[in-house]
Amino acid sequence: MKKSEINSTEIARLAGVSRSTVSRVINNYTNVPAETREKVMKVIEAHNYFPNVSAQVLAGKRARTIGLFLFGQGRVSADVLTNMLIVSVIEHASEHGYYVLTHIIRDAKDTEVVKSVMEIFYQRRIDGGIFIGAANREPFIEELIAEGFVVGVVDQELPEQPEPNRIVSNFNNDSGMKQAVAYLAGLGHTGIGVINGDMNRLSGKTKYEGFMTAMRMCGLQVNPDWVLDGDFHETSGYNAVQTLLRSGVNLPTAIVAANDSVAFGAIRALKEQGLRVPDDISVIGFDDHAMSEKHHPALTTIRVDLGDMLKRMTSLLIATIEQKTLTVKEITLDCSLVVRDSCRRI
């Protein structure tokens, strides 16, 4: 293995200058005459020389790497969304000359796992990190922020006195829920149920609260029997509907699901019991998952632009790392109704 062993000393020797000058050329110092710069660049290119990044970081440069941490409850692999997230972050980081170290957090309750995540920051492998899918105010993330690391968290509350190294991004779930309920109300529905998401996540809470507010604003009663627990996964939608059906109570004419996966599960359970969607019961989702368009029936839902959110999050994180003086600490994106075939007029 003849690994290229060339270093700045060697480049300096070949170019007939000092290492200081080589470094100045590499770091685009302005006080290097064009002639000297070219002479050095020629040698650098001729030898395919790239400065050792560890040495650079140790000498005070940034690692130009960000961490991307995905909380996955065991089935990340299957999720189409996840891929979009990862790719979106990688490509936008790449535009800024940053690399992405991706990590999957299977169990945020496991101290070993938490330690391994924090280690990545303490080791200085990364200049900052983005967390997706975390509980609201996840303790170890709070700790990282308290330590001064630059951290971006998707789906998270911004505290009253935000630290300069904390970034947060959210969808306007309130507006989304209002659109969903208003649409169903417009179709003549009055008995509307809801299957909640994970209440430890901010979006779980805000979606539920948004639903309640929207119902009130439309002058509709919320039947407690129709407020069902869920956790954002397909199975929870399935289970929620099954429980509802078995309980023998009256059924709502429409159900709002915390996201599209939950809606898929709900529809699956409904179908299994011989109920048709939307003929017997209408279902509306949230997120506009890649599958929703192809689903039978095509799912009416609230669209959310996660790619755009992560693009902004990535840019803001990097700007913060580079100490651009920014006052923006929060990204909020709106969402909007997509009408397809899973809801009907009654």
Partner DNA sequence: CTGAAAGCGCTTACAG
18 interacts with, out of a copy of itself, DNA, none, CB within 5 to 8 A per kind: DNA
- Decide: is 8 part of the binding site for DNA (CB under 7 A): yes
Residue 57 or 346: the one with the smaller Cβ distance to DNA is: 57
Asked if 9 is part of the footprint of DNA (rule: CB under 7 A), the reply reads: yes
Q: How far apart are CA 6 and CA 253, in angstroms?
A: 72
Does an H or E element contain 40, and which? Answer: helix 34-46
Q: Which does 24 bind (CB under 5 to 8 A by kind): DNA, a copy of itself, none?
A: DNA
Nearer to DNA, 23 or 315 (CB): 23
The site that binds DNA (CB under 7 A) totals a number of residues, namely 27
17: contact with a copy of itself by CB under 8 A = no
36 contacts which partner out of DNA, a copy of itself, none, CB within 5 to 8 A by kind?
DNA
46 binds a copy of itself (CB under 8 A): no
Are 68 and 84 spatial neighbours (Cβ–Cβ below 8 Å)?
no
Q: Does 298 bind a copy of itself (CB under 8 A)?
A: no
Residue 328, burial from CB neighbour count under 10 angstroms (0-12, 13-18, 19+) = exposed
30 near a copy of itself, judged by CB under 8 A: no
List 249, 290, 328, 339, residue binding a copy of itself (CB under 8 A):
290
Number of H helices, E strands in the chain: 12, 12
Comparing CA positions, the residue from 242, 299, 231, 248 lying closest to residue 270 is 242
CB of 19 to DNA, least distance (A): 5
Q: Name the packing angle between helices 173-186 and 202-217 (round to 10°).
A: 40
* Token code pair at residue 196: 């909640």
Q: CB atoms < 10 A from the CB of 10, how many? A: 15
- List the interface residues with DNA, window 16-45 (CB under 7 A): 17-24, 26-27, 31-33, 36
What residue 99 binds from a copy of itself, DNA, none (CB within 5 to 8 A, per partner kind)? a copy of itself
Instruction: Report the DSSP beta bridge partners of residue 150.
Output: 128
Residue placing its CB nearer to a copy of itself in the complex, 120 or 185? 120
Distance CA 41, CA 14 (A): 11
Q: Which amino acid is at 184?
A: L
52 near a copy of itself, judged by CB under 8 A: yes
What are the E-state strand segments in 133-213?
150-154, 166-171, 192-195
- What's the CA angle centered on 214, arms 209 and 215, to 5 degrees? 100
Residues that bind DNA (CB under 7 A): 5, 7-9, 17-24, 26-27, 31-33, 36, 49, 51-52, 55-56, 58-61
Residues that bind a copy of itself (CB under 8 A): 1-4, 48-55, 57-58, 63, 65, 72, 76-80, 82-84, 86-88, 90-91, 94, 99-104, 118-120, 122-125, 147-149, 164-165, 290, 294, 307
